[in-house]
Amino acid sequence: MASFPMITASRVRFWYRIHKWTSLVCTAFLLMECLTGLPLIFGDEIFDSTHPNREVRPANLPPTAPYARLDDMIQASYHLYPGQKILSVGFDDDEPRVFLTMSPHVPPAPKSNEAHNLIFDAHTGKLLEDKQKQARQTEKFDLMGFIGRTHFSLFLNLPGRLFLATMALTFLVALISGVLVYGPFMRRLDFGTVRVGRTRRLKWFDLHNLLGIVVMTWACVVGATGVMNDIEGPLFDLWRAQALPPLLKPYRGKPMPSHLASVDAAVKTTKKALPGMEITSIGFPNPKTTSRHYVIWTRGDTEVTRHLFTPALIDAETGQLVSSKGLPWYLRVLEVSRPLHFGDYGGIPLKIIWAFFDVTLIAVLLSGLYLWLSRRKTPVEDELDRLVKQEQLIGVDQRTAAGLTP
């Protein structure tokens, strides 16, 4: 026979303690993440507004105009910096520009600024900017870079990212336990009720609950995607450890090739193997990944698939395709998490919504901190016991009215 759900004081006390301590543990770091994440939501717009004349624009040609040869841009880069090596070739998402990253050593020396970019017009092949010369001319404090490094790793690289992932998991536990504690009692009140005629603490308590429920789903999404983004490095290391050894076994012990095959031919081979995909970047032979191959990253050409990437492995000496398999499921989840974390799926409207929820979450954190710091004569646990007894009495009345008690 059906019965009305009952809650017990011990269960509520347990979840309240979980909610209290997990919230206290992560609040300071979560506030930091919210404050630094707010400008990062509009990172592209902020960069464009603060650097209106910094970049040399490419030629004004129709998007259908043919691209210049990548091999010619590579030769021009070697001519400018003889003796240096190319690390990668990248393509701008917004403009027809090609980025060539060079360094005297492969890989670059740790904690050095050896790597630098050359930017070419994708249509004409003309050099637009030499970032190394610009860096020598002007050394300015990069505020957005400082905010980004704080948000992503606390300037601690992998240990910092893993620590923030732990804080994000703690935050998810605080969210779920908060719903389990306060949800049963909120059904006795109309949604959005704020008892302004009572004590100030009660008013803040109601606001904390209301804002928490409003932001609940968004906070769970951002918290979960934050965890995925923070463990990006270990996830890719796991994939490389699983996928690359069988592919690289035939090349074991061989040195880096002295002559590299045509990059344009490698791109053509990749497009043939992965039709409907567009090239995003080309990694050159590197002992940290593979010293014998181009790693060409591609993505879908629609709004739905543009965040889903597939790598192709090309023999850098012969130009032959070695592999073009898709990524495993956990990296697919990571790819979806990246843009969703900052609301990059829907342009400015979605970014504004993300910013609104970010500010709302800050209000939830501050109100929770106020409730913790404001002392009261009656402990919260005793107040929860009183509410549980009220809820149990209501449950008895409901069962009696339904004819479920003798």
pLDDT in tens, 190-210: 666 677 766 777 788 788 888
- How much is the average pLDDT of 400-406? 40
What gap in Å lies between CA 30 and CA 369, rounded to an integer?
A: 12
Residue 402 has pLDDT above 60, yes or no: no
How many CA atoms does the CB half-sphere of 168 hold within 13 Å? 25
- Of the two residues 114 and 181, the one the predictor is more confident about is 114
**Which pLDDT does position 397 carry in this prediction?**
44
Q: Pick the residue with more confidence: 358 or 51?
A: 358
The yes-or-no verdict on residue 7 having pLDDT over 70 is: no
Percentage of the residues of the chain whose pLDDT score is greater than 70? 83
What are the DSSP calls for 115-136, one per residue?
-EEEEEETTT--EEEEHHHHHH
Mean pLDDT calculated for residue range 314-328:
95
Residue written as token pair 């791109």: 267
| Mean local confidence (pLDDT), 36-48 | 90
Predicted local distance difference test score (pLDDT) of residue 334: 93
State mean pLDDT over 332-356.
89
Window from 46-55, 112-121, 191-200, 386-395 with minimum mean pLDDT? 386-395
Extended beta strands in 179-302, E state: 277-283, 293-300
The domains of the chain are located at 11-42+149-227+349-401
Tell me what pLDDT residue 377 has. 53
- Which has the closest alpha carbon to 265: 310, 311, 320? 320
Q: Which residue has the higher pLDDT, 28 or 11?
A: 28
Q: Give this prediction's pTM.
A: 0.83
Res 401: pLDDT: 42
Q: Residue 406 corresponds to which tokens in the numbers above?
A: 């003798």
Q: Would you say 294 and 316 are in contact if contact means Cβ atoms under 8 Å apart?
A: yes
Average pLDDT over residues 23-43: 94
CB 58 within 8 A of CB 124: yes
At 181 the pLDDT is 79
- For the ranges 42-51, 193-202, 214-223, the lowest mean pLDDT is seen at 193-202
Query: How remote is the C-alpha of 127 from its chain's centroid?
Result: 32
